[in-house]
Amino acid sequence: MTLGLVLARGGAPAGEAKRARPRIGLSLDTLKEARWQGDRDAFVKRAGELGADVVVQSANSDDVKQVADVKALLTSGIDALVVVAHDGAAMGEAVRLAHASGVPVLSYDRLIRDADVDLFVSCDNVRVGIKQAAYLVEHLPHTREKPLRIVRVLGARTDYNVHQFKQGQDSVLGPLLERGEVKLVFDDWAEDWKPEAAKRIVNAAITQHGDGFDAVLAANDGTAGGAIQALEEEGLTGKVVVTGQDADLVALQRVARGVQAMTIYKPLRTLAGKGAELAVKLATGMPIVARDEVDNGARKVPAVLFDVTVVTRENLRETVIADGFASEQAVYGP
Ligand code: GAL
């Protein structure tokens, strides 16, 4: 546990923004997954409560557009930049552009690599992967004689989170793979997190192995949905255990029906609210205490990381419903 202090960068003297109300630029990769719409809404709401304005841009998963979005935000005059990077490597350019204008940068949810990022706010993404893989290992039998056969659907290769999910998953599966108790019968990346890319991966796995697998280790609920479509076409729904992440409402409904085994509930409203609070502090040059740090290849970035919760059919009511993240009616239907 470290106590990193994020020092104000250039910009306004401590305690004031360059303008009457701090202005925060929020550059999103995409709004296609439901969670990002929730992150955006919670971020804008919290920033507004703190007297700050937020200008939002979404890049539709296009790196060139995301850099152009950042340039437009900087030109419009902002006191802090918050980025959900489509490509953590490509968005180092956003950090350099922002710092050239004396604007601090908060990397949100996905780590921008190899750049002088001021602050990183996310969940503990290695633990996300650990919990996804551990769910399969803890709930499904695996012996040398009858190994647990897994099809893995990773997310977008450009998203550094996926490398951390994979790191967590591999830390659980590695020893069992060596002992022959687990087999990865298929393993691929779903481009830009597209559900249709996930469906193609599971279709290919079925072509190659028929129903010769026991689980799909899907990295998020969107790819889980694509995987489940492929399973449904082969009558394998409910026979193959499927993981996910994000607690998307459609995924919670699948979990309630037993079609998807689990998802990962990230405290997205808390994450977005905290992100907004820290962005306002960056914008007004207030000191920030960050309890964690993450090496992004260029520096140890001060970080605020939240833990996550495994949601299954058994604990839906005690987690996402109790938190008000989803309603009983929405999850279970009429
Ligand atoms: C990841 C994020 C996941 C999931 C995915 C798809 O970076 O950590 O929660 O939402 O993007 O957008």
pLDDT tens digits, residue range 14-34? 665 567 899 999 999 999 999
Q: Which of 161, 266, 306, 308 to mutate to test the pocket of ligand 1 (most atoms within 8 A of CB)?
A: 161
163 three-state secondary structure? helix
Question: What is the C-alpha to C-alpha distance for residues 172 and 131, in angstroms, rounded to an integer?
Answer: 9
Amino acid residing at 249: L
Question: What is the C-alpha to C-alpha distance for residues 297 and 159, in angstroms, rounded to an integer?
Answer: 15
pLDDT at 19: 77
Confidence band (pLDDT; 50, 70, 90) for 2? low
Residue whose CA lies nearest to ligand 1 atom number 12: 33
Query: For the sheet containing 182-189, what is the strand order?
Result: 182-189, 148-154, 215-218, 241-242
8 Å CB contact between 284 and 19 = no
Look up residue 269 and give its two tokens.
């409203």
In this prediction the pTM is 0.92
Question: For ligand 1, what atom is nearest to the CA of residue 84?
Answer: 7
Centroid of ligand 1 to alpha carbon of 13 (angstroms): 35
Give start and end residues of each alpha helix (H) in 186-267. Answer: 195-209, 221-233, 249-257
pLDDT > 70: percent of the chain: 95
Question: What is the C-alpha to C-alpha distance for residues 245 and 251, in angstroms, rounded to an integer?
Answer: 9
Dihedral sign, Cα of residue 306, residue 307, residue 311, residue 315? negative
The partner residues of 301 in beta bridges, in order of sequence, read: 294
Confidence band (pLDDT; 50, 70, 90) for 3? low
CA nearest neighbour of 155 among 328, 333, 30, 329: 30
pLDDT > 90: percent of the chain: 93
pLDDT at 8: 56
Question: What is the C-alpha to C-alpha distance for residues 223 and 236, in angstroms, rounded to an integer?
Answer: 17
Question: What is the C-alpha to C-alpha distance for residues 183 and 151, in angstroms, rounded to an integer?
Answer: 9
Phi, psi of 48 (to 5 degrees): -60, -40
141 three-state secondary structure? coil
Q: Which of 60, 127, 167, 246 to mutate to test the pocket of ligand 1 (most atoms within 8 A of CB)?
A: 246
Task: Work out the average pLDDT over 168-178.
Answer: 98
pLDDT tens digits, residue range 39-57? 999 999 999 999 999 999 9
pLDDT at 6: 67
The partner residues of 58 in beta bridges, in order of sequence, read: 28
Which residues have C-beta atoms less than 6 Å from ligand 1?
33, 35, 109-110, 155, 159, 161, 193, 220, 245-246
CA 142 from centroid of its chain's CA atoms = 29
Dihedral sign, Cα of residue 212, residue 215, residue 221, residue 225? positive
Question: What is the C-alpha to C-alpha distance for residues 241 and 134, in angstroms, rounded to an integer?
Answer: 13
334 CB contacts (<8 Å, ≥6 apart)? none
| Antiparallel, parallel or unpaired: β 80-83 and 105-108 | parallel
- Residue 35 burial (CB count, 10 A): 21
8 Å CB contact between 261 and 139 = yes
8 Å CB contact between 39 and 269 = no
Residues shown for the chain: 334
Q: Mean pLDDT in the chain?
A: 95
